[in-house]
Structure formats: structure tokens, C-alpha cells
Amino acid sequence: MRRSNLSLISDEIASRKTLAMTRQEVSIAKLGRIVISLEQPPGGTWDHQILRGLQPPLQERDYALIMHDASYNNTRDKPEVPFTEHDMDALIVDGHAATDDYLRQMRLAGVPIVLLGRTLPDSDIPAVMPDNFGGAQLAVSHLIDHKHQRIVFVTGDPGTDDGRLREQGYRAAMREAGLEVDPALIVRGDFHPDTAFDSVEQLLRKKVPFTAVFGADDDCALGAMRALQQWGKVIPQDVAIVGFNDLPEAYISRPTLTTVRPHLRDLGGQAARTVLNLLDGKPVKSLVTMPVELIRRKSCGCI
């Protein structure tokens, strides 16, 4: 039986689609595969900027970047990464978006790995980090330059590199200025605005004297700001505040938040260059610390 022209045309379209799909699959198969496991959803400003730094160097070398959102349906303590050594040529991990056990397992299997924003003790896995220590020291020294001596530090997570190093930077700035580090002024923040709010409110309830606050990140600083404002404090006239990370909220808060800015696109670019060097068998530094910048706004009294 003779087939209709419509049937022949339909077959031709299907054939072209199949051919296009086959070419696409072959093209993808030719690409190297680098997985990045993200601690936060990829739509956020932090990871968006890191990805903008990562992608150009990898694309130039024909590597496809496969994104995994470790925050989805997981806890921070045990993020699951559904990839084995057979699924990738290399791995980049943002923060704590993979467990230590998984990282050691992949490294033992020969996968080149680069860590962003953290280190893994007793391993040969290189890391790229913002200058957490130097940035914290810069922020606190800036408050000291404004004649503040009783400076509250709202901590991050002391179990993380950034939490630990930012506290060390706070202490170093205080010591260098000849100022006492009062344990009563180091309060819990956990990188969370509600925890920071509660901690600063407790200081206010107890009438602990202080004139400035350094938050381990912008979330801590903004939580502290909210507590102070609810207690009728005027910022920066009564209490000055500085944060860390330069989140979008820092620019729209009232008053605008002085903060330390890590250059995220540069962090991503450095991570890409490091992983490419590993893939090429070239030597890499165990730790690359990237510069940060103090962004002066109204909350410290500069403007």
C-alpha cells in the first residue's frame, strides 16, 4: 500500500530529530565532565557569581559543568552527592556540600578535587578560600578606627574554616590595638539571623555595654541590627555594625550595611584554574587565599 505524503514527511522529521539528538549526545560525550556540588541553591547570588567565574575557563577546555544542589532534600550534616568516580572527570565542592567521607572516597578513587571555602584536614585536596582571617581583621580594625573599643563578635559556625578564621581575625585586631577581648562580647550567631538576634537581645537585656558589632557574616550582622533597632538603638550613632560577605540584603538594609566583600567570580575562576591544572598533572598550591575588600556604607558611620 502506498504511503501518504504526510506520513513520509512525518518520518523525515522524526529522522532529522533522531539525527540531531544523536549528534548532541556525541557532542556531550566528547566533553569532559566536572561536577560542582553547591551548598546553596544555584539561583542564589553567592553561587551564581562563583559559577560565572567557573564556567569560562572550563568551557574553553571543552569541559561540561554538572551542577548538584546539595541543599535539596538533605541536611547540612550529611549532604548526599549522587555521583561516583565513573560519572565525572573532576569534582569541585562548595563549602560543606559533600561529607568528608565522600571526599576521601572520591580522592582515593583518583578523582581530582578542589574545595571552595573550606579545607579537609589530613588530605592532599587543594582549597580556594576568601581571606577570612584578613577580612575579619580589616572589619574590626575599621571599627577600632572609629574609636570603638567594646566590640561584640557574633560568631559563625566554629566547626567551619570561615567561622574559625573570622573569630581569629577579630581577636587579632583587638590584640593589635591593645584592647581586651571580653568573653562576654563573643556571642553565638551560627551564621543565622535569628540566632544572632537572640544573642544580641540577651546582651541588651543584661545591659552589657558595647558600642559596635562585627557579625561573622551578613546574616549575623542583619540579625543583630534587627535586635538593636527593636530595642530603640540608632545605627550607627548608638551602635555601629559591620558584616561579612556583601549579600544583596546588605545594600538594601536600613541603614545600608558596611561589610567585607569576597570577590566570588575570582574565587570561581581560581577554582577552575586549579582543577584544570590537576587534570593536566601540574602542581597546585594546597591553599589559595583570595583577597577581600571592605565596602563602606552607613552602618559603621562612614557615610
pLDDT band of residue 70 (cuts 50, 70, 90) is: confident
pLDDT band of residue 72 (cuts 50, 70, 90) is: low
pLDDT score of 180: 94
Whether residue 42 is predicted with pLDDT greater than 50 in this model: the reply is yes
pLDDT score of 29: 43
pLDDT score of 19: 37
Q: Apex CA 76: angle with CA 285 and CA 262, to 5°?
A: 45
Stretch 128-135: mean pLDDT: 98
pLDDT band of residue 41 (cuts 50, 70, 90) is: confident
pLDDT score of 40: 78
pLDDT score of 78: 64
Whether residue 14 is predicted with pLDDT greater than 50 in this model: the reply is no
Under 8 Å between Cβ of 97 and 113: no
Stretch 95-103: mean pLDDT: 93
pLDDT score of 136: 98
Under 8 Å between Cβ of 100 and 120: yes
pLDDT score of 30: 45
What's the CA gap between 24 and 10, in Å, rounded?
21
Whether residue 6 is predicted with pLDDT greater than 60 in this model: the reply is no
pLDDT in tens, 242-270: 999 999 999 999 999 999 999 999 999 99
Under 8 Å between Cβ of 85 and 108: no
Under 8 Å between Cβ of 125 and 285: no
**Higher per-residue pLDDT: 150 or 15:** 150
pLDDT in tens, 170-226: 999 999 999 999 999 999 999 999 999 999 999 999 999 999 999 999 999 999 999
pLDDT score of 85: 94
Which of 5-9, 155-159, 242-246 shows the lowest per-residue confidence on average (mean pLDDT)? Answer: 5-9
pLDDT score of 79: 67
Stretch 48-53: mean pLDDT: 92
Whether residue 92 is predicted with pLDDT greater than 80 in this model: the reply is yes
pLDDT band of residue 77 (cuts 50, 70, 90) is: low
Handedness of CA 110, 132, 298, 219 (dihedral sign): positive
pLDDT score of 268: 97
Helices 218-230 and 193-205, axial angle in degrees (round to 10): 40
Average pLDDT, the chain: 89
Stretch 49-58: mean pLDDT: 94
Task: Let me know if 283 is exposed, middle or buried by CB neighbors in 10 A (0-12, 13-18, 19+).
Answer: exposed
Which of 18-27, 137-146, 151-160 shows the lowest per-residue confidence on average (mean pLDDT)? Answer: 18-27
Going along the chain from its start, the domains and CATH numbers come out as 10-130+264-291 (3.40.50.2300), 132-261+294-300 (3.40.50.2300)
pLDDT in tens, 284-294: 999 999 999 99
